[in-house]
Structure 1
Amino acid sequence: MSAVPPTVRVLHVLDSLAPGGLENGVVNVAQRLNGQGFDIHSACLRFRGDFAERMPEPEKVVVMGKTAGFSFKAVRALRKHILRVQADVIHSHNLGTLIYAALATLGGRTHPIVHGEHGQVQKQDLTPKRLAQRRWLFKVCRSVHVVSSSVRDNLQDLGLDPQKKIVVTPNGVDSQRFSPAPDRAAARQELGFPGNATVIGIVGRLVALKRHEMLFAAFEKLASQWPSLRLLVVGDGGAERDHIIGLMKAHPFADRILWAGHQNDLPKYYRAMDLLAAPSEIEGLSNAVLEAMACGVPVLAHSACGNAEVIENGLTGYLSDIHDAVTLAACIEAPLKDAASLARCGSGARETVLKRYSMEAMADCYRKLYRDAAKAKE
């Protein structure tokens, strides 16, 4: 009879557990692993966030009290918390939290660090100082993982993975929870749309890189020619929140835009859509894209992002180099004119998720990362 592996205590280090794609991924993995050979804790540097209540044991989410700028107080608090919970593995997410994790573990010497990069390096992080920080800090990690090959390639192109050790751990989606609508007209009516409406959706935080403003301009170009067209905006929070809400309110077709804010019951919203627009300028592997695909909703995405690894143009969704509102409007209109293409891509999208992006496959990736890191500590 084989011995049962010891429980591995994992401490996530996050800015917060406010709703977002990164945070959703952390919750999904925690729900799969906690109590199954793993004990999951979380240290939020700045504040707790609504997704803390979705963690399997919300009482194991603790706030470190980080203030504006760099905070030695938060480093000390994190160090004490690591020792208090007797963490076996520290899991940091993106550069900001890695800085704190590295300092609190004396450069990874006292506790192994598993680090995740959840998107391509953004423009503000392309300075020599920021690149040098990542280059040094990656060296102190037991492993570095990314959500897509495009993110790995981006880091390698920047010289941040000279030994080609970065691991790809794709996101997964719960295909039972996210499933196609039995009646899309009824799903639309439940949200207050006409049953025969044509609904374009966007899901995500209200930040510039999601390019809501471009989508609003594209919608304006299409709405006058498509009386049945509606725009469904799901998401809240982010640096551009007030600006984006203001644009919706002032939009010439504001009466045909529904801003739903943050929603926990996302399947209900995907099921009302004919097409999900994902024009993000930079993206690793979008949870919203996978969730929509699992619901049988085809996705239009910017081809420069990791979504190009998921979507096969014209078969499981639509890819294009989206640079402006004119291009985006044309890319939206083309599939809307071809009902057979939409149906084919919706079915293909669902099949892709079932085959390649299961929640259990994602959980297996993290099981291996954590156990390998815990062995390094022994």
Structure 2
Amino acid sequence: MKILHVVNSLDPGGMENGVVNLTRGLEARGFISHVACLERRGAFSARLPASSQVFLLGKSGGFSPRAAWRLARLISRIKPDVIHSHNLGPLIYSGLATLGGRRCPLVQGEHSQLTKEEFLPRRLRQRRWLYRGCHTIHTVSTAMREELIQCGFPAQKIVAIANGVDTTRFTPSDRLAARQSFSVPADSLCIGIVGRFGPFKQHIQLIDAFEQIVPNFPHARLLIAGGGGSQEAAVTERVRQSTFRPLIHLLGYQSDPVACYQALDLLAIPSINEGLSNAALEAMACGVPALARSGCGHEQIITHGEDGWIAPLETTDDLARELTEILSEPVRLVDFGRNARKKVTSKFSLESMITAYEHLYRAAALR
């Protein structure tokens, strides 16, 4: 079976990581997966399996009729069994290129919660029209599915397929060795954030909160791993100006982030918009618990007070207060980390995610 994914790019990010993991996993099951990138290839294209091709559609700036035409031509040439578009922009082009799903079955993936602008009546009407041409709309969390249904979208078309994590790759390991690789003192209390510097990730809020707690936790360190995104320059400058600059480690983009997680005591996720956090799953697989903002699908993967913490992190003070409470009892970090590893191993495996998509694709191809 041949699948064509349509994305903006394969720049490092949670959704993009999921597409790569899916294509690699399905190759072993006889699938061939290609990727059409509207804007650019992106670094994650190098991780695709050998059987996959990347096609550039040349979109730049605003809406591009030429990109839609190129996608239509590509579909005619490679004849995929299913087209899988990811998020709204790629769905617009996929809907046009397939004549509303009539030329090829169309599966739409929603990977993050709707933003405030997407709740505007005009945007909801646009999404409703595009969804008519989709065989299935999948979300990455049950909370996102419920959100779409509450907006009036057809429940019978919407399924939730939770993200999965490779628990053989993301595993607990020697924490001291991991810290040494990043020149972090062995006796540190390490808080980390991993991901692209997007506008919703709240890196600066975390830096502000970290500065509040340092006087009470002089061994605390903040590790920031990631690259790209519209806020990267602002976050870098904020770190440069920090009074506690020596305690904040900018690790940059990590093509293999396993050691980043293994160096941590706690992952912080103050993000105000997520689907189902890949970073949370990867950290938990490494035996690292997470502190996450309420909502954003976190309740599906974190059991508060058992394998992590969920709190309404609306302000810097909220975040600082939660960090203070957690770091005051460091023994809980070890216990919660052990529970977190058990949780993702049993409920969020990569294999179970791949199987769910395999069933979805086969059903769509039989329409």
Give the alignment's TM-score, normalised by structure 2.
Answer: 0.98
After superposition, the C-alpha distances for 1:305-350 in whole angstroms (9 at most, x for unaligned) are 2011111111110111110111101111212111221111101100
Say yes or no: does 1:15 pair with 2:8. Answer: yes
For 1:131 and 1:77, how far apart are their aligned partners in 2?
27
Say yes or no: does 1:351 pair with 2:339. Answer: no
Give structure 1 regions of 4+ aligned residues with deviation exceeding 2 angstroms. Answer: none
Say yes or no: does 1:177 pair with 2:206. Answer: no
Aligned AA for 1:82? I
Tell me which residue corresponds to 1:205. 196
Say yes or no: does 1:112 pair with 2:110. Answer: no
**2:115 aligns with one of 118, 122, 133:** 122
> Is the partner of 1:209 in helix, strand or coil?
coil
For 2:176 and 2:326, how far apart are their aligned partners in 1?
19
Contact residue 145 and residue 168 of structure 1 kept, 8 A: yes
> Is the partner of 1:224 in helix, strand or coil?
helix
Say yes or no: does 1:192 pair with 2:183. Answer: yes
Say yes or no: does 1:52 pair with 2:50. Answer: no
Identity, % of aligned positions: 45
Matches within 5 A, 1:4-43: 8-43=1-36
Contact residue 284 and residue 306 of structure 1 kept, 8 A: yes
Matches within 5 A, 1:1-378: 8-57=1-50, 60-161=53-154, 163-181=155-173, 183-376=174-367
For 1:265 and 1:75, how far apart are their aligned partners in 2?
34
Aligned AA for 1:325? T
For 1:74 and 1:58, how far apart are their aligned partners in 2?
24
Aligned AA for 2:158? I
For 2:51 and 2:277, how far apart are their aligned partners in 1?
25
Contact residue 120 and residue 155 of structure 1 kept, 8 A: no
Structure-2 change in CA distance of 1:147 and 1:211 (3 Å) = same
Aligned AA for 1:214? Q
For 2:51 and 2:235, how far apart are their aligned partners in 1?
31
After superposition, the C-alpha distances for 1:210-237 in whole angstroms (9 at most, x for unaligned) are 1111101100101122111100001111
Residue 375 of structure 1 and its aligned partner are, at CA, apart by: 1.1
Aligned AA for 2:130? L
Aligned AA for 1:169? I
Q: Which moved more, 1:8-17 or 1:33-42?
A: 33-42
Aligned AA for 1:348? N
Give the alignment's TM-score, normalised by structure 1.
Answer: 0.95
Residue 261 of structure 1 and its aligned partner are, at CA, apart by: 1.4
For 2:181 and 2:21, how far apart are their aligned partners in 1?
27
Tell me which residue corresponds to 1:4. none
For 2:120 and 2:345, how far apart are their aligned partners in 1?
40
For 1:269 and 1:106, how far apart are their aligned partners in 2?
44
For 1:351 and 1:152, how far apart are their aligned partners in 2?
26
Residue 145 of structure 1 and its aligned partner are, at CA, apart by: 0.4
> Is the partner of 2:190 in helix, strand or coil?
strand
For 1:217 and 1:341, how far apart are their aligned partners in 2?
24
For 2:309 and 2:28, how far apart are their aligned partners in 1?
40
Aligned AA for 2:120? T
Residue 124 of structure 1 and its aligned partner are, at CA, apart by: 2.4
Q: Which moved more, 1:184-193 or 1:100-109?
A: 184-193
For 1:99 and 1:58, how far apart are their aligned partners in 2?
27
After superposition, the C-alpha distances for 1:117-171 in whole angstroms (9 at most, x for unaligned) are 001101222222211111111111010100001111111122223x443111000
For 1:58 and 1:335, how far apart are their aligned partners in 2?
46
C-alpha RMSD over aligned residues: 1.1
Matched residue pairs, number? 367
Contact residue 6 and residue 90 of structure 2 kept, 8 A: yes
Q: Which runs of 5+ in 1 are unaligned?
A: 1-7
For 1:289 and 1:187, how far apart are their aligned partners in 2?
18
Contact residue 85 and residue 94 of structure 2 kept, 8 A: yes
Q: Which runs of 5+ in 2 are unaligned?
A: none
For 1:212 and 1:271, how far apart are their aligned partners in 2?
20
Aligned AA for 1:210? K
